[in-house]
Amino acid sequence: MNIIRYIIQKEFRQIFRNKAMLPIIFVMPLIQLIILSNAATFEVKNIKFGYIDNDKTSFSRELIEKFNASTYFNVLTDYPTAKMASSAMLNGNVDVVLEIPPYFERNLLKDKKTDLSLTINAIDGAAAGVENVYASQIVQQFNKKAQIDFRLQGVAIDQQQLIETIPLFWYNETLNYKTFMVPGILVLLVTMITLFLSGMNVVREKEIGTLEQINVTPIKKYHFIIGKLFPFLVLGLVLLTVGLIIAKLLFNIPIIGSITLMYGYTIIYILVILGIGLFISNYTETQQQAMFIAWFFMVIFILMSGLFTPIESMPKWAQILTEFNPIKYFVQVMRMVMLKGAGFTDIIPQLLKTLLYAIVMNGLAVWSYKKVS
Amino acid sequence: MKKENAIYVENLTKMFGDFTAVNNISFEVGKGEVFGFLGANGAGKTTAMKMLIGILKPTSGHAQVASFDVASQADEVKKSIGYMSQRFSLYNDLTIKENITFFGGIYGLKKSVIKEKTQELIDELGLKDEANKLVKSLPLGWKQKVAFSVSLLHNPRIIFLDEPTGGVDPITRRQFWEMIYREAHKGKTIFVTTHYMDEAEYCDRVSIMVEGKIEALDTPKNLKTQYKVDSMNQVFLKLARNIE
């Protein structure tokens, strides 16, 4: 036990002595948290909107005015011809083009129906879908108003039965994107710092040559691994704490669930990440190699974590792969506990899987650390 | 077991794939002896030494260090030996005192013993003013002296030194050898590799390794007589040239 204490003492001394690393460990992640939480949003806003008005009547102008009034659309240009509109879209100057046909008003008054053409830049399919919904809503509103106008003018039209849905948004009533993103980004930062630091740690001693000196001592393998893990576990928890304070003070993210539960889970989670880091460290010869491998896993873990894209919409095989992604569980738990106030029994599945993962990875880390080559 | 030997090596071999780094070597080192382990670069000295200190598994043959088998009782071997490698083996970003505390600690020394040893070591090396300075700020010769002293912290019976004086100035080298002799007088066995042939003259016995094999093993005096030359340097050159 004493031996472990000496290793921990030495690791902490080295961490706090490294004037270049200390700011990287603490300041960089927090800057990232602040910047990313504000920037990483999927809300579709400021859509570049253009139109071709072949009708030029009060009706067509009224429709365009409705787009203008919407907060989602920035009405940019009135294109004289469809050709000009399509070349503007090619250049990326416009995202959505509405084409109002000639005789729009006349047909509407005479036949009670007419067509509109909406062209959407769908390179980003998800955004295009959202833009379509926004545009349809505006046209719908216009439609409704036209119906009322007609009725007032005594024109008989088919009464359309309308079913209106009034959504109720649970857990994040104001649909604040930051409420969704901040817990996730916090997870990423804790993961990145602990993975990179632990991944480079043992291999660094290999490079300097001190590992050989350690291997010549009668120190037990588990002493060494525990002594190496513990300081980074503490660092990870400190980082989480600072992150949570920022989340609360700066972004006003609700923390509904139990803080103890959150920390308890985080400890197990960080052990998984540190186990992975030490495992990488044991199998590499230089810090550069360790860094590349750590990045490889990091990118896969992040993109398949459900943080940016829902796991439910991934193909089946990818969904199975995400079962092995520790970040997925941490993101789930953080969102559940922080935003929904989930209790211990709610997170048991994630907890058990993470615990199993931690045991396996640290077992591998101890096993793969060879004092004798 | 043979008679009281500090190191006993029999048919020790290490292969890396097809390459035989250490080829069937056998020798013994007596207690309290200063044993010089010589050889050109790449002759297999470091590989052989790594097997003796229990961080490299022999391909075949066996070796006993302090009466423990290096393959099956590596941890017992490690408790009985001190080791200082050619690569500087202290932590540059820790102070001298912190290095002593750390290495004393992982050898399982008590806190009071560490404190006592630290004081002793600093007095002995005359490093009172440097004790709280980072190791990286010390000149190489001092670092090596500190590293040597640190390898003695747990009072090992046998000390392995892998090119301890590489790159060190002649005065410091001389002081370093005085330290080695002091330990030998206390009854410790010294196993040292070196490229300096004048240092070889200081050893009780030397072995010269050429291409994985021990080509000569005797006292420096006998070797010189045997090869009809008057310095170890010439013995070394003769042996290395014969092989070519």
Nearest-angstrom CA–CA distance, A163 and A175: 23
Do residues B194 and B36 touch, judged by C-beta distance below 8 A?
A: yes
Whole-number pLDDT of residue B165: 86
Phi and psi at residue B44, to the nearest 5°:
110, 10
With a cut of 70, say whether residue A206 has pLDDT above it. yes
Give the CATH number of domain B5-87+158-243; options: 2.70.150.10, 3.40.190.10, 3.40.50.300, 3.30.450.70.
Answer: 3.40.50.300
Please tell me the distance in Å from B151's CA to the nearest CA on chain A.
Answer: 9
CB contact under 8 A, B106 and A372: no
Residue of B nearest to A227 (CA): B106
CB contact under 8 A, B91 and A209: no
Do residues B82 and B154 touch, judged by C-beta distance below 8 A?
A: yes
Question: Could you tell me what percent of chain B has a pLDDT over 90?
Answer: 50
Whole-number pLDDT of residue A155: 63
DSSP for B93-107 reads TSBHHHHHHHHHHHT
Please tell me the distance in Å from B101's CA to the nearest CA on chain A.
Answer: 8
Whole-number pLDDT of residue B5: 85
Whole-number pLDDT of residue B243: 56
CB contact under 8 A, B57 and A373: yes
CB contact under 8 A, A10 and B91: yes
Whole-number pLDDT of residue A195: 92
CB contact under 8 A, A212 and B85: yes
Nearest-angstrom CA–CA distance, B90 and B108: 18
Residue of B nearest to A216 (CA): B78
Please tell me the distance in Å from A202's CA to the nearest CA on chain B.
Answer: 13
- Which residues, at least 6 apart from B136, have a Cβ–Cβ distance to it below 8 Å? B92, B93
Whole-number pLDDT of residue A169: 65
CA of residue A151 relative to chain centroid, distance = 48
Please tell me the distance in Å from A218's CA to the nearest CA on chain B.
Answer: 5
pLDDT band at B37 (very low <50, low <70, confident <90, very high): very high
Please tell me the distance in Å from A220's CA to the nearest CA on chain B.
Answer: 9
ipTM of the complex: 0.87
Give the full edge-to-edge strand order of the sheet including A73-78. Answer: A73-78, A47-53, A96-100, A117-120
With a cut of 60, say whether residue B244 has pLDDT above it. no
Interface of A with B (CB under 8 A): 2-3, 5-7, 9-10, 13-14, 17-18, 208-210, 212-219, 223, 371-373
Whole-number pLDDT of residue B234: 86
* Chain B residues lying within 8 Å of A221, measured CB to CB: none
Phi-psi region of A154 (alpha: psi -120 to 50; beta: other; left: phi over 0): left
Whole-number pLDDT of residue A174: 61
Residue A158 or A59, more confident: A59
Average pLDDT, chain A: 86
The pLDDT tens digits for A139-170 are 888 888 877 777 777 666 555 545 556 666 66
Whole-number pLDDT of residue A184: 85
Mean pLDDT of A103-107: 84
Please tell me the distance in Å from A303's CA to the nearest CA on chain B.
Answer: 37
Helices (H) and strands (E) in chain A, counts: 14, 4
pLDDT band at A171 (very low <50, low <70, confident <90, very high): low
Of B89, B92, B105, the CB nearest to A2: B105
Task: Pick the closest to residue B236 from B20, B43, B46, B52 (CA basis).
Answer: B43
Please tell me the distance in Å from B238's CA to the nearest CA on chain A.
Answer: 34
Length of chain A counted residue by residue: 373
Of B76, B89, B134, the CB nearest to A210: B89
Phi-psi region of A175 (alpha: psi -120 to 50; beta: other; left: phi over 0): left
Residue of B nearest to A13 (CA): B94
Interface of B with A (CB under 8 A): 53-57, 74-76, 78-79, 81, 83, 85, 87-94, 98, 101-108, 134
With a cut of 50, say whether residue B1 has pLDDT above it. no
With a cut of 90, say whether residue A280 has pLDDT above it. yes
Sign for the pseudo-dihedral over CA of A146, A152, A155, A158:
positive
Cβ atoms < 10 Å from Cβ of B21:
21
Of A209, A217, A371, the CB nearest to B88: A209
CB contact under 8 A, A6 and B101: yes
* Chain A residues lying within 8 Å of B87, measured CB to CB: 208-209, 212
Please tell me the distance in Å from A371's CA to the nearest CA on chain B.
Answer: 6
Nearest-angstrom CA–CA distance, B165 and B84: 11
Nearest-angstrom CA–CA distance, A221 and A366: 6
* Chain B residues lying within 8 Å of A209, measured CB to CB: 85, 87-89
The pLDDT tens digits for B102-161 are 999 999 899 999 999 999 999 988 888 888 999 999 888 888 889 999 999 999 999 999
Average pLDDT, chain B: 88
CB contact under 8 A, B56 and A219: no
* Chain A residues lying within 8 Å of B81, measured CB to CB: 216
Whole-number pLDDT of residue B2: 45
With a cut of 50, say whether residue A272 has pLDDT above it. yes
Mean pLDDT of B208-228: 88
Instruction: Report the residue of B47, B51, B55 to disrupt the A interface, i.e. the one with the largest count of A CBs within 10 Å.
Output: B55
pLDDT band at B204 (very low <50, low <70, confident <90, very high): very high
Question: How does DSSP classify residue A337?
Answer: I
Map out the domains of chain B as residue ranges: 5-87+158-243
Whole-number pLDDT of residue A157: 59
Going along chain A from its start, the domains and CATH numbers come out as: 2-40+174-368 (no CATH), 47-152 (3.40.1710.10)
Nearest-angstrom CA–CA distance, A214 and A40: 45
pLDDT band at A182 (very low <50, low <70, confident <90, very high): confident
The pLDDT tens digits for A112-128 are 778 888 888 888 877 88
User: Both tokens of residue A133?
Assistant: 């919904």
Residue B2 or A212, more confident: A212
- Which residues, at least 6 apart from A103, have a Cβ–Cβ distance to it below 8 Å? A55, A114
Contacts across the A-B interface (CB distance below 8 Å): 81
Mean pLDDT of A330-343: 88
Task: Pick the closest to residue B189 from B36, B25, B1 (CA basis).
Answer: B36
Whole-number pLDDT of residue A159: 55
Whole-model pTM: value is 0.80
Nearest-angstrom CA–CA distance, B44 and B47: 5
